[in-house]
Structures are given as C-alpha cells and as structure tokens.
Structure 1
Amino acid sequence: MTGPPMSREEVDRTLARLRDEKERIAAALLELESHQGYQLLEGATLTGETRRVQSGVRSRMASLWTLFDLYGRVVDAAGELRARHPRPGQAQLAELSRLLAGPSVELPVREVPLERRTLLAVPSGERLTLRAAVDRMTPLYEEVARSVAALDAVWSTLLSRLAEVEAERRTAAGLLESLGGADPEFDRLCEELESVAAVVRADPLALARDGRADTARLDAVLTGLAGVRRRLEEAERLRDGFADRIRGISAVLESLREAEAEARAVRDEVLAKIASPVLPDLPDMAAGLADRLAAVAAPGRGGWHDLAERVAGLERAAAAALERAREAAGVIRGLLDRREELRGRLEAYRVKAARLGHAEDAELARIYEQARELLWTSPCDLRSATVSLSGYQRAIMARAKGAQR
C-alpha cells in the first residue's frame, strides 16, 4: 500500500471496528439463511420461474459466503499478527496496515466478475481491500434478501390458502366415507386441487401477479369443496334424523290434502252461490308429492348425500304446494267474504236511513229491496249487487245533505 503505515492506536481502532463488522455480517448472513422463505427455497425441488430465482439466490449466497470467508481470514490474520506483537515495530505496522487498509482480500478467479476479465490476461484472482469486499457483498446480500422476501410473500400466502383447501377436502372426504356412495363433483374438485397444489409447491411464482399471490384457483376449489361439505353435512343430518324428516313431510302432505279438499269444497260453494265467478286453478299436488315421499322413504343405493338432496327438494316442494293451496282457497273464499261484506254494508246503510228519519221513504225502500234481492239470491251477481249498493248509499247521502240545508 502507498502512504505511511498506521500507528499502533489506529491499528487497534481499525481492528476493533472490523471485528465488530465481521460479527454483524456473520449474524446477518445466518439470519438470512434461517428466514422461512430461504428455508422453503433451499428445501424444495422447483421448476419454472421459481427455479430460476432459486438458482440466482444459491449463486449469490455462495459468493457471499466466499467473500465473507476471505474477508474474515484477513481480519483474523491481522488479529493474530497484532496479538503476537504487543509492541509492533514498523515492519509489523506496515504489514498490519496492508492487511487492514490495503488490497489484502484475494478473490479466486471464479469470483471475479466477467466484465473485469480480459481475453488474453493470465487468469488470476482480483484483490480487494476489506472495505471493497464489504461493498461487493452488500448488493449481493440485498439482492438475495429482496428475492427471498418477494418469494416468501407469494409462497406463504399460497401455502396458507392451500392448507385451508386441503383441510376442507379432508373434512368432506371424511363425511363422504361415512355416508357412502360417490360424489362426482368432489372427485373433480380433488383433481383440480392436486393440479394447483403441484404448481404451488414446485413453481409458486407461476401463480403470482404483480408481485402478489394469485389465489383465484385455490379460492374456486375452496368454495366448491365448502359447498360439497355443506351438502354432505345436510346428508349426515338427514341420516341421523331420517325418520323425523319423513314424518315431517308426511304431516305437511296431510295438511296439503286438507287444504286442497277445502279449496274444492269452497269452489263448489262459490259456484252455487256466486254468479260467473273468476276462480284460480284448483291445486292438485298432494298425490304426486305422496308418490315422491314413498320413493325417498326407502333409501336406494345412491348414498345418503344423494338422498339428502331429494328429501330437501321434497320438503321445499311440499311447503310451496301447501302455501299455494291455502292461497287458492283464500282467493276462492274471498268471493263469499265479499258477499257477506256487501250484506253487512247494506244493513248498516238501512239502519242509517232509519236514523235519519227515512225509514218510510218508498224510493229508498225500493232501492234497498233491489240490492237485498241481489245479495240474498243464489247465485249472487256480485257486480250488480255492488252497483245497487252504491246507488242505495248515494240516495241516503243525498237525503242527508238535503236535510242539512
């Protein structure tokens, strides 16, 4: 090196700083190698883009450790030399200065960057100062850290979601085994899961978008398996409470038969008592649903999960049919209720006419009798009766206004 050698004090200060620096670099490298992302990268057999990243990380880490080892040997050599000479002379100070501040780190040829080599030069290692060696290690470390952190962010997200999906698959598989039978949708989802799991484990960066994990395929499988699990859980509940479910459907069908019979009876009454009624179609679902109940009451070979869908569908159909039957009966009965309402209003208007002093009014009596005959004659013409009742009301109101004048 050029220039005067360091003093003993300068040597000691520099050596203390370099020893501390060496310890910190070693700690940083060991911490990097213990990082979860680095451990995942080192322990995996990879393909595609992730393998390219793995190769780059391994190459840079090898260079880092080589540089650090050479750097550490020089620091250790300087420390040993200083320890052997408590009162170093000029020769020792010159050697210590060369080691601590001169180009004392000799790189093997393979560590010399390609751009620093020449075609005809005799291959020899590059020499660096300790400071230059640290400067050479720093970007290598930063590149490895960035690569590992980016990969870990993607891989950890994918592995976490994969664990959720596989847990869902195990749950569904256990239910299916307990219930018996096959489930084509479950088989399809398992095939898709195996396919995407292979990508997650071998080339997670293939499932990255803009540096983030793309979990769309895993999410779709998870949603599908959750649906399968819910169906199988419903089948399990059906199996455990099958007799109660069948009794429940039977009770609904009995109510349906009663509601349909009532609708028919009310229809017959309306046809006898109301002229030209507009009626809804009569419900007639009980017999068909009873046949479906008989079919599900004796489980076949499809398995409980297949039967669960049929029972649930039958429950929905029976409840809907009962609601429609009751609604139809209510609509038909409404015509009779309308007649009773008109009859009540006619009598109320007659009482009001009498209270106003028109009990002996011949014209009012004529209109009243006309409306009464329409309402008490079978079949009743509700339209005409309504018109007649409105005329009776208007006549009473006109006489009430005349009396007020």
Structure 2
Amino acid sequence: MPGAAGPPMSLEGVDHALRRRMEERDRVAGDMLDLDDHPSHRLLKGMTPTGETARRWDQAQVTLVRLWWLFDAYRRVLDLAQEARAAGRPDLGLLTALLTGPSVELKPDDVPIEKRSLLREKGEWITLDLALAGMDGAYREVAELIGAVDAAWNTLLPALDAADAARRGAREAATSLGAPDPELDRLDDTAARLRARVTTDPLGSAGLLGELEALGRAAGARRAELDQALRVREEFDGRARRLAERIDAVAEAEREALRVRDLVLTKIQSPSLPQMPDQAPTLRDRLAALDTRAGRWLELAERLTSLERGVEEALAHATRTTESVAGLIGRRDELRGRLSAYQAKAVRLGHAEDLALAGLYGAARDLLWTAPCDLRRATVAVAEYQRAITRIGAAG
C-alpha cells in the first residue's frame, strides 16, 4: 500500500499535479516506443550478437525489463489516481499520497542490493519522482547502447557495402570472361568474414575500418583489372592491328637512325655514337605470341598493355637516338655558321687582309669542310679565330 505523504493537497493542486503527471506519462511512453522502434534496436532484437556487443546487449535487456516494469508500475499509480479523482467525493489524502508519496511498489528483486534486508517479505515503495528518475537512468543506458551500435554500423557498413558493390562488379566481369579467379575468391572470403564480424559485433569491430577500406580498394582494383580484360577481349583485333602499325613505325625509325649514323660516319671523324636501337624484331615476336585461343584475357590484358607501352618507348628511343646522332652534323654546321659570321665581322673591322687572321680562318675552314670532320679540332680552331677577332674589336 502507498505510504504516508504530507498534508493533503487542495483539489486544485491535485488536478494540476495529476495533469502534469499524465502529460509526463504520455511523453515517457512516446520516448520508450521510439526507442523500441529504433532500427538498430529492432536489428539487435532480431539477431544473435557476439563479442562486446553481446555482453552489453545482455545488460541492456535486463535494463529494458526493469524500464518497462517501472513504467507499468508508474502507470498503474496514475490510473488509481484518475479513478480516485473521478469519484464523487475525491479522497484528497489518498490522491496526495498517490501523487507525492511513496506509491510505486518495487519488486524485492528490483530493490538495489545495498538497500535490501534479509527480513523483508514485501516490495519497497518509491515516489513517482524516484520512479521517473529510475526510468530515465534505464532509458539513457539503453539509448546509449543503441546509439553506439547505430554509430558503429553507420561507420562500418558503408565501407563494407562499397566493397561488396566492387566485388559484385568484379564477379560479373569474371563470369563474362569465363575463367576462375582465385584472387576474387580470396576477397569474397575476406568480405564474408568481415561482414559476420561487423553485423554481429559492431561495438567490437571499430578497429576493422582500415581493413574494410583496404578490402574496398582491393576489390575496386580487381574490378578495374577484370573490366580492362573485358575491354581487351572486345578491342583485341583493332589494338593488335594498331600495334603492328606502330611496330612498323619503330622499324622505320630504327632504319632512319642507322641511315643518319652511316651519314655521320662519313662526315664526322671518330664520332662518339650511342648504341643503335634494334627493338622492332623483338616487338614483332611479342605481338605474335599474344595467343587469344586459350582465353586467358586477364593475362593478355597485362601483356598487351605492356607491349603497347614497350612499342611507344622503343619509338621514342629510336627518335631520340636519331636526333642525338644527327646533332653531330648539326654541331659541325653550327661551327661553319659561326666561322662565317666572325669572318664577316673581320671584314667590318677592316681586317679582311690580315694574314694572321686569314691563317686562323683557313685552318678552321679546312677542318670544317674536310670529310670526315674532326669536330674536336674544328671547335678549337673556330674558338681561336673568334678570340683573335674579339681582341681586335676590343683594341678598336
């Protein structure tokens, strides 16, 4: 039975307190129903958690039972108060006791251990305010757990879903290629293991985010490789034809490098020449070795891409070699032009008949117009002629 309260409240005070408690009851009921209907709460109730999540969920379920029991006891007191108020002559003492006194009975097992007595046989009584405080603490404890689970899933599941999407795309590509893919099988096994951990123990899986993101990157990379293999299968004939044409261009560029080398050997004395490129035959062999009959398109994609890269590198190398070798003739021609320019300067300075200058000019000209040309000596000779004219110009 409810315990004693203070002096009886006035009827107006009873009505005010009862109205406030009813509004309070409706708000608490709404919050508890929202908690019960929370998506993560529904998921927890429909699954078997493991690990840290299981440990905390077991505690939360005990707290939930206590929360609903307290609410039911709280509601029953208010129902009694409503009935007492509806009587023809309300008992203000009873109403005061119900609304302000210890009117909510706790089961013996619900009494905190530090307040229990070995002699008790009945439950203990608490006020509506203490019942509300108990419900609030229980609600917060459960809500905190559900919020933590929800936050963990919101962090982990998108990364897992992204990895799953990439794996599905990769699996479709692998199926189209018609070949087993052990690497993709390994990624599937990893995804299954991680999904089991994340879905059943979100609170114990916070450290898995990096592994989930790595799985997503690996799945995305595998999908890209398999998609490339599909493109290679579709484009192989055209790319092979273009490769053959580019290899012909490499061969022509290498022949041009040889032609320029032979020309340099007749024009320049003891030139320092790079090794001549000769990649076209090897590139043709690699192209011929791309056999599509085995259907190993993933391997063919890598080899085809590597060959395309190799062809472009060989073409660039042949072009650079030709330019490097031809630069020796360009150097000779540059020296010829410089010699002619300084001869014209000597004429402008009035030293066209200077025998010393004429001797220097003749020595440089003989070197530059003799085949093969000794570039080293010619460079020295032109420099001597240039210095002589510079000294004359400086002397005025």
- Superposition TM-score, scaled by structure 1 size: 0.92
Match of 1:73 in 2: 76
Match of 2:111 in 1: 112
CA deviation digits over 1:49-89, x for unaligned, max 9?
00011112211111100000011011012112221x1332x
Conserved? CA contact 2:103–2:128, under 8 Å: yes
C-alpha distance in structure 1 between counterparts of 2:390 and 2:120, whole Å: 127
C-alpha distance in structure 2 between counterparts of 1:2 and 1:311, whole Å: 92
Structure 2: gaps spanning 5 or more residues: none
Amino acid across the alignment from 1:42? K
CA deviation digits over 1:201-260, x for unaligned, max 9?
111122226xxxx51010000011111111122222222222221122122211110111
The alpha-carbon deviation at position 42 of structure 1 amounts to 1.9
The answer to whether structure 1 residue 37 and structure 2 residue 31 are counterparts is: no
The match for 1:244 among 208, 227, 238 is 238
Match of 1:138 in 2: 136
The answer to whether structure 1 residue 280 and structure 2 residue 274 are counterparts is: yes
RMSD between superposed Cα atoms in Å: 1.8
Conserved? CA contact 1:180–1:303, under 8 Å: no
C-alpha distance in structure 2 between counterparts of 1:115 and 1:302, whole Å: 76
C-alpha distance in structure 2 between counterparts of 1:343 and 1:185, whole Å: 65
C-alpha distance in structure 1 between counterparts of 2:136 and 2:55, whole Å: 21
- After superposition, the Cα gap between the structure-2 partners of 1:43 and 1:375, relative to the gap in structure 1 and judged at 3 Å, is same
Match of 2:125 in 1: 127
CA deviation digits over 1:6-55, x for unaligned, max 9?
23222222211111111011011111112233223222211110001111
The alpha-carbon deviation at position 2 of structure 1 amounts to 4.5
Match of 2:284 in 1: 290
Amino acid across the alignment from 2:85? R
SS in 1 for 2:278: coil
Match of 1:86 in 2: 88
- After superposition, the Cα gap between the structure-2 partners of 1:7 and 1:397, relative to the gap in structure 1 and judged at 3 Å, is closer
- After superposition, the Cα gap between the structure-2 partners of 1:239 and 1:2, relative to the gap in structure 1 and judged at 3 Å, is closer
Amino acid across the alignment from 1:87? R
Match of 1:4 in 2: 7
Amino acid across the alignment from 1:378? A
C-alpha distance in structure 1 between counterparts of 2:112 and 2:320, whole Å: 88
The alpha-carbon deviation at position 389 of structure 1 amounts to 0.9
Conserved? CA contact 1:180–1:304, under 8 Å: no
C-alpha distance in structure 1 between counterparts of 2:248 and 2:188, whole Å: 43
The answer to whether structure 1 residue 15 and structure 2 residue 18 are counterparts is: yes
Conserved? CA contact 1:182–1:303, under 8 Å: no
The alpha-carbon deviation at position 387 of structure 1 amounts to 0.6
Q: How do residues 4-403 of structure 1 correspond to structure 2 at under 5 angstroms?
A: 4-83=7-86, 85-88=87-90, 92-118=91-117, 120-208=118-206, 214-296=208-290, 298-402=291-395
Amino acid across the alignment from 1:100? L
C-alpha distance in structure 2 between counterparts of 1:48 and 1:123, whole Å: 38
Conserved? CA contact 2:53–2:202, under 8 Å: yes
Q: Percent identity?
A: 46
C-alpha distance in structure 2 between counterparts of 1:285 and 1:32, whole Å: 73
CA deviation digits over 1:356-400, x for unaligned, max 9?
333333222222221111112222110100111111222223333
The alpha-carbon deviation at position 98 of structure 1 amounts to 2.4
C-alpha distance in structure 2 between counterparts of 1:8 and 1:36, whole Å: 44
The alpha-carbon deviation at position 351 of structure 1 amounts to 2.7
Structure 1: gaps spanning 5 or more residues: none
